[in-house]
Amino acid sequence: MRFPTASTVRSTVVLLTALLLALAANAALPAPRAHAYGTYWITTFAQAGGYPNTVCGTGNGHPCGPNGYLYAGSNYVNCRAWGGEVNDGRGNYNRWWLLTDLDTPAGSRGWVSAYYLSGQGNDQADYWNGSRWVPIPNC
């Protein structure tokens, strides 16, 4: 039986440490910037609060107020991420959140629940590409 040399073990430990540090740093990254993603047009049926992350305002132990609002109507979003559930207590819910530029205050960005998308089912976050419904890309 052949055992790995000390330099092989040391190299493996260094690589694993670098990987763990990279993963930990990635978990603490701020919300992605719009220019890194496309623009996808959607329609919202009501004014929606925009939050600094995907768990605020969901009643799941992470209460916080909105940092702005997205008006009802035609809007664009950049990408989607899975987060806390938003529901109306009547069986309608969504856990997808959409990153976008908010209408108020001007120039602010935030996460809006896909619950407010028109014509969507539970846990859907799609846009119309001109011929069919397509999932908004993940962030």
pLDDT digits (tens, 9 = 90+) for 61-99: 556 888 999 999 999 999 999 999 999 999 999 999 999
The model's pTM is 0.70
For residue 92, being part of any structural domain is answered with yes
Domain range holding 89?
A: 38-135
Identity of the residue numbered 105: P
- Number of compact structural domains in the chain: 1
For residue 18, being part of any structural domain is answered with no
Give the mean pLDDT of 119-133. Answer: 94
Q: How confident is the model at residue 58 (pLDDT cuts 50, 70, 90)?
A: low
Class of residue 59 by CB neighbours under 10 A (exposed 0-12, middle 13-18, buried 19+): exposed
C-alpha 70/C-alpha 118 separation (Å) is 14
For residue 14, being part of any structural domain is answered with no
Is the pLDDT reported for residue 107 higher than 90? no
User: How far, CA to CA in Å, does 75 sit from each of 7, 32, 45, 117, 118?
Assistant: 56, 18, 11, 10, 11
Query: Among all chains, which residue has been given the structure tokens 């987060």?
Result: 83
CB 108 within 8 A of CB 67: yes
For residue 33, being part of any structural domain is answered with no
Is the pLDDT reported for residue 13 higher than 90? no
Is the pLDDT reported for residue 39 higher than 90? yes
For residue 25, being part of any structural domain is answered with no
For residue 76, being part of any structural domain is answered with yes
For residue 3, being part of any structural domain is answered with no
For residue 23, being part of any structural domain is answered with no
pLDDT of residue 30: 45
